[in-house]
Structure 1
Amino acid sequence: MHLKLHTFNNDSEYLQNTQQIVTDYIEKLIQIPYRIPKLSASEIETYNNLLFSLNLLNSEEFQKIYYEYLEFRRGDFYSPFSFGNIKEIISLDDKTELSNLLNISHFMSQMITNVLKGNPRQTKRFLNTFILRRKLAQVASLEIDILILIKLMLLEYLNPTLFKKLNELQSGESGIVLELGMLESVFIDGEENKLGEGFKDWQTPQIQNWIRIEPKIGNVDLRNYFWLVRDKTESTMSNIHMVSPIIQKLYSQISSTDKHQRSVGFIELKKLDELVKDEVFELLNNELLNNPSKTRNLLDTLFDYLEKIDNEKYAVFALDSFKKMSFALIKNERKPIDILKFMKSKHKKLTSGCDELIDEFSQKESCLLQKTAMKAKE
């Protein structure tokens, strides 16, 4: 067997192709690492201002600003392209929203730099989300403080677990988180730290820095803010953040411990269409099943609802809820029996179901509800 050997000169096509392959391969192996540097506070401020301008100005006005920015950058590489620079280029007299955003841009950029550490990708995502939520607040006619929204969003990025925890803490009637006030008194006002083990996750250096960011929010009603970010909270307590501000307001009124507020709430509710009433009742029903700390007050609200919003379907839902409800939640209450007796008298179709439930309660362990059920059977 004979092998035929080929020789190639330097100009051969085969050799040139082979050398190219080797060169390409080596280029893949030998690379110079380059990381995108973190943005400085002034760069973030510039980015804020350009992004706000892009979103709120027409194309012609933005092009003017962008052209001037490029000229500005050639002469000054380190200073921010600020509110002052922009208002020299175009008039902001009739551009209130843009003017307000540019006014807070400097402070906002400091907050973002401190928490996001100048990460370009996170900064862009953060600002786009902020603009979207601000527009949503305007559409929903929510009164919000932009700086508070920014502060809460920073916690959302910094520690999603604590952000969701904060949502659960603020989901009560007032929307005020007392725990935040306690943290602020320690880490801002300098009071003695008597916080227990339950505050351990809130005392890391990162979270302490977040707490110190102005403004303070320990005495602020946070409900509107968490309504805006309800897609990220997924609260398991109830769906109170998944409804519109109007429904929230009505629900807050009718479930208030203040009798006058409740009366006003029901007067307003009666004027509205059935779909609104259905949403408010669904919210009440979910809270009743999922919020044990407010059972007594919610039972009072349920009774008022069945009396003042006369519709048999709500009584049917209420009966079903009593069947699902943990006995431990209501064993020290008389109100369930009062509600069942009322439904019997008002809706004859429900008599059998109400009697069965009263009988079931009467056979439970000795407690206030059991004794009340026994009397109702007499």
Structure 2
Amino acid sequence: NLFREEYSSILKDLNKNLIVFIDNLDRCLPQNAIQTLEAIRLFLFLPKTAFVIAADEDMIRTSVSEYFKGTSARHHIDYLDKLIQVPIRVPRTGLLEIRSYLFLLHAVNAGIEEDLIEDLRLALEKSLQESWHEDPMKKEDALKVLKCEGNIELAIAFDQVDRIAPIFATSPIIHGNPRIVKRLLNIVKMRSNIAKRRKISLDENVITKLVIFERCAGEEAANALYSMIDTNKNFKKIISEL
């Protein structure tokens, strides 16, 4: 009580609000995550004080169950419900958001000037805001914003976006997670560059198919596919049918 009184008095004298942002709490070990939340408890219901916590809710509930071993499932739910006053759940990234994100990633990978990429970002943002009554931005319009109408390689990459964005957005393995999307795209680029250095003629669309298959089907299925390709002369047909 003495701490709360002194703390409240200090903030009152300063005539300022205290807002503390805590990001990636779910990346902490269970003990550290819960100890952080317990420390926050000391400041609950104090005037002019707010904590903004960004974390994966399921991961934090798992930390609660590990930290308070032997407690019931109901306790795990109540713990966060009592601590978090205003929960704000960020919706999963949708198809149009993933599509826009892929456009930007391809533009960055193509080495487009930062000013033009910012122009594209603003144009895509406007397109998303108006998506409820307007069609999404076309790849031709995106290329025009970037002043890359004649860039065939970027046009091919943008054309691919419309094929893979639905998979990224709806796959239960990828969940429209931007970090996973960027990671998969980086893997595709890395393998494509390796193939070019070794002078292997390999379509980037094929590499993309394989990378997505590995992620969504799992290691065992991927190994089985590669074994099938190694022992089958018609491997091109197998890949085209993925």
Task: Deviation per CA, 1:173-200: give whole Å up to 9, x if none.
Answer: 737299x6xxxxxxxxxxxxxxxxxxxx
Q: Does 1:83 align with 2:139?
A: yes
Q: Which residue of 1 aligns with 2:153?
A: 97
- Asked if 1:165 corresponds to 2:219, the answer is no
Is 1:64 aligned to 2:83, yes or no? no
- Name the aligned partner's letter for residue 174 of structure 1: K
Distance 1:127 1:35 in 2: 27
- Counterparts in 2 of 1:79 and 1:169: CA distance versus 1, 3 Å: same
Percent sequence identity over matched residues? 16
Q: Following the alignment from structure 2 to structure 1, what is the Cα–Cα distance between the partners of residues 214 and 206?
A: 12
Is 1:143 the counterpart of 2:201? The answer is: yes
Q: Does residue 123 in structure 1 map to residue 142 in structure 2?
A: no
Quote the Cα distance in structure 2 between the aligned partners of 1:71 and 1:177.
41
In the TM superposition, 1:111-260 aligns within 5 A as 111-115=167-171, 116-158=174-216, 159-172=218-231, 174=233, 176=235, 215-217=240-242
Unaligned runs of 5+ in 2: 12-39, 52-81
In the alignment, the residues of structure 2 paired with residue 167 and residue 125 of structure 1 have an alpha-carbon distance, to the nearest angstrom, of: 21
Structure number, greater radius of gyration: 1
Give the gaps of 5 or more residues in structure 1: 1-7, 181-213, 218-378
TM-score using structure 2 length:
0.57
Structure with greater strand percent: 2
One-letter amino acid of the structure 1 residue matched with residue 241 of structure 2:
K
TM-score (norm 1): 0.39
Is the Cα contact below 8 Å between 2:169 and 2:175 reproduced in 1? yes
The residue type paired with residue 208 of structure 2 is: I
> What is the number of equivalent residue pairs in this alignment?
173
Provide the rounded CA distance (Å) in 1 between the counterparts of 2:106 and 2:203: 17
Give the number of the structure with larger relative contact order, counting CA–CA contacts within 8 Å between residues 6 or more apart: 2
Q: What is the alpha-carbon root mean square deviation over aligned residues?
A: 3.6
Quickly say closer, same or farther: Cα 1:134–1:80, change in 2 above 3 A.
farther
- Say if 1:170 and 1:30 are closer, same or farther in 2 by CA, change over 3 A: same
Equivalent pair of 2:96/2:128 in contact (CA under 8 Å): no
Question: Structure 2 vs 1, CA of residues 22 and 155 (structure 1 numbering), >3 Å: closer, same or farther?
Answer: closer
1:28-43 correspondence runs (5 A): 30-31=83-84, 32-43=86-97
Distance 2:3 2:88 in 1: 36
* Partner of residue 44 from structure 1, selected from 91, 94, 98: 98
